Structure 1
Amino acid sequence: MRVLYFAWVRQKVGVAEEAVSPPDEVRDIGGLMAWLAVRSPGHAAAFANAKTIRAAVNQDFAGPDHPVRRGDEIAFFPPVTGG
């Protein structure tokens, strides 16, 4: 699974992207975020308030209950506003 981080999420995690192999129990975006949060202090800081992070699975917006699978590309980013 390829995980991409954007904006302040990337700054806190410390990398723009990483390849991860979460355990089988991680089946959705919410579970992935919880699993990532324990990987490092940077991940913990980035995912401390999950409601402030948006996600996309294979370039489609996804909510916390959206399933994730091996081979997916997951992106995490702050809310986007127009202007």
Structure 2
Amino acid sequence: MKVKYFAWVRERIGKAEEMIEPPESVRTVSELIAWLTDRGEGYAYAFENPKVIRAAIDQAHVQPDVAISGAREIAFFPPMTGG
């Protein structure tokens, strides 16, 4: 699946997107965040406070407990402010 990173999440990881194949044990958005966190220092820094990270699966906002199976694209971004 393709994973995209936006704003300071992208800056901390050092890339805008990548293709990944998480293990079958990774079933939800929150489990994916935990798995990504273990991939290195930049990921750990980007996801150090997972409660503030927002996610979208195939361009639809989702909660952390949503299953990722069948997802073509998952995006992670920090909270947004409007104005």
TM-score grouping bracket, smaller chain normalisation: over 0.9
Rounded to whole Å, the distance in 1 between the matches of 2:80 and 2:5 is 14
Question: Identical aligned pairs, as a percentage?
Answer: 53
Rounded to whole Å, the distance in 2 between the matches of 1:45 and 1:70 is 27
Q: Which runs of 5+ in 1 are unaligned?
A: none
Q: Deviations over 1:49-77 (max 9, x none)?
A: 00111000000001111110255200000
Normalised by the size of structure 1, how large is the TM-score?
0.96
Q: Secondary structure at the match of 1:26?
A: coil
Runs of 4 or more above 3 Å deviation: none
Q: Which runs of 5+ in 2 are unaligned?
A: none
Alpha-carbon RMSD across the aligned residues, in angstroms, is 0.9
Listed as ranges, the matches of 1:30-49 within 5 Å are 30-49=30-49
Normalised by the size of structure 2, how large is the TM-score?
0.96
How many residues are treated as equivalent by the alignment?
83
Q: Which residue of 1 aligns with 2:77?
A: 77
Q: Which residue of 2 aligns with 1:65?
A: 65
